Amino acid sequence: PGTPHPCLRWIRLDPLSASEPRPPASISIMLAADKQALESVLQQQSLQIREKELRFFVENFAAVAGQAAMLAGFSFSGMFMAVDSDQPAWLRVVYYAFSACALGLMILACANCTLINVLGVGLALRGPKGSMDRAVRDMADERRVTFGFFGFGLI
């Protein structure tokens, strides 16, 4: 009842009615600015989530690298441990082969963790737009490979 507020007169109640006036240009500009501000906030929040994921991967790879280095040291000392000569030759060969494989796999896991931490964080910080997403995605993919090296080295 009554006349609408002057600021609301551009809102159409009937979508087919062409007699209603169009919104002023200043309102369109304000809506575009609000849209841009919302997109900026969304992008910032997305980057904060990706940063948390990146920190998780960095800490995870650092922990695996430390454990792999320690286990590589154990495997290395096992390579120089004397096996009784009364054991069958095939058993000694198997023992040294498994020790050598464990040493190699742990060194691979340690080196892979180090490279992923250095290159992944470098890409996330200094890469082009969208590089944070790519760095996190690639670190997640490489985690499977690195954990595979580590897991097989434990066996």
pLDDT, position 69: 95
Q: Which of 45, 52, 29 is nearest to 124 (CA)?
A: 52
Tell me which range, 19-23, 69-73, 75-79, is most confidently predicted by mean pLDDT. Answer: 69-73
- Confidence band for 9, pLDDT divided at 50, 70 and 90: low
Half-sphere exposure of 75 (CA within 13 A, CB side): 22
- Confidence band for 101, pLDDT divided at 50, 70 and 90: very high
Backbone angles phi, psi at 11, to 5 degrees: -75, 125
Whether the full predicted model's pTM is greater than 0.75, yes or no, is no
Mean pLDDT of 135-152: 92
- Residue 152 sits at the vertex; the CA angle it makes with 98 and 55, to the nearest 5 degrees, is 140
Provide long-range contacts, Cβ within 8 A and 24+ apart, for 107-110: 107/68, 107/72, 108/149, 108/153, 109/64, 109/65, 109/68, 109/146, 109/147, 109/149, 109/150, 109/153, 110/65, 110/68, 110/69, 110/72
With a cut of 90, say whether residue 28 has pLDDT above it: no
Mean pLDDT of 58-70: 94
With a cut of 80, say whether residue 124 has pLDDT above it: yes
Q: What is the mean pLDDT of the chain?
A: 82
Please give the residue that has the higher pLDDT: either 80 or 18.
80
pLDDT, position 7: 55
